[in-house]
Amino acid sequence: MNELQETIKKILASGKGILAADASTPTMTKRFEKVGIASTEETRRQFRQLLVTTPDLEKYIGGVILFDETIRQKLDNGKTFSEHLAGRGILPGIKVDEGTEPFGGSENEKITKGLDGLAGRLGEYVVMGAKFTKWRAVITIGKGIPTLECIQANADTLAEFVFASQAKGFVAIPEPEVVMDGNHTIKKCEEITIETLQALFKSLKTQGVDLEGLILKTNMVLPGKESGQKVSVQEIAQATIRALRNSVPTEVPAIVFLSGGQEAVLATERLNEICKAADVPWELGFSFERALEGPAMEIWKGKAENTDVAQAALLHRAKMNSLARKGEYKKELENE
């Protein structure tokens, strides 16, 4: 096994998953505003400190994705976030994209920025102790979109990101997200997810990356938020597994899901059903932001006295999702 494969094994060892604590400052500000927390460099540091100092977190979380601001900050004890995580046996990772901009002059489609100066930033992150990198691309379903051009441009950019990351010794997590916004059916989401992933793996092959040294992060196959379509967890799991079988090479060691704005318990139920799928060649797991830290943020509200209860809420979600990874989650466990 090479070093990248060993890193992947450590991140996903024994039912563990990834905590995506890498929301950009504008996204974090939006999340904070919803629960009445002022978004400042210090409140963002405090919230991330609350997350990474949660007792027992290392039982269920093997990797935490940090944001550029956070990896440069310190905890109250003077340690950097990377040092603290590494000390607990949790691997620190880093989001290296720089958000999206309109694609092809249209506000409806997005291309992710961040290739300029990427090699230099990756060099800095090596020194700061990061072991893996993430890049998110956004694919939106709507009238006449996504266009093939947008899917292709994002696939090519993701492939350049993977190549550059692996060249510096990082496990790369390309994250093409077909977002839930819209009134499309689950069938449409399945088609677009397949197209997006097929384009990605074609670009990755052209770039000549090491497929065994990456983790794919992708969306579950779901109906659009505004579609009104009712689907069972079984239908979601079947559609998701079908899409992956149709597009992800068997050399890829692991696939983790994003939560994409799904309600936290629902994301866990769906993850559980997907992970029950037998005979898939990949490890399946989770890399959630909102479905892990959302409940903790609502409880914390920026107040030190709420820290313990907020941490308990994070640990609970981490445990539930870790059970779901093994297909052992049951809704009754929510009331434990």
* Contact positions vs ligand 13P (CB under 6 A): 20, 22, 136, 175, 258-260, 288-291
175 an active-site residue?
Answer: yes
How does DSSP classify residue 332? G
The one-letter amino acid code at 75 reads L
10 Å Cβ neighbour count for 316?
18
Given CA atoms 152, 155, 159, 165 in this order, what sign does their dihedral have? positive
63 neighbors 18 (Cβ within 8 angstroms): yes
Selecting among 217, 289, 293, 319, the annotated active-site residue is 217
89 neighbors 14 (Cβ within 8 angstroms): no
Which residue's CB comes closest to ligand 13P? 289
Which residue number, 5 or 100, has a Cβ lying nearer to ligand 13P? 100
217 an active-site residue?
Answer: yes
Which residue number, 77 or 243, has a Cβ lying nearer to ligand 13P? 243
What element of type H or E holds 81?
Answer: helix 81-87
Selecting among 175, 269, 289, 293, the annotated active-site residue is 175
Alpha carbon of residue 256 to chain centroid? 7
Which residue number, 259 or 272, has a Cβ lying nearer to ligand 13P? 259
Alpha carbon of residue 311 to chain centroid? 20
Q: Number of C-alpha atoms within 13 angstroms, CB side, residue 40? A: 5
Which residue number, 28 or 118, has a Cβ lying nearer to ligand 13P? 28
What element of type H or E holds 311?
Answer: helix 307-325
Segments in 168-276 forming alpha helices (H)? 186-207, 233-245, 264-275
Which residue number, 78 or 95, has a Cβ lying nearer to ligand 13P? 95
Strand 100-103 to 106-112 pairing: antiparallel
Helix%, strand%, coil% for the chain, nearest 5: 50, 20, 30
Strand 254-257 to 132-139 pairing: unpaired
Which residue number, 258 or 274, has a Cβ lying nearer to ligand 13P? 258
Using alpha carbons, select from 55, 37, 48 the residue that is nearest to residue 76: 48
Which residue number, 259 or 322, has a Cβ lying nearer to ligand 13P? 259
Write out 124-168 in H/E/C secondary structure.
HHHHCCCCEEEEEEEECCECCECCHHHHHHHHHHHHHHHHHHHHC
Active site residues: 175, 217
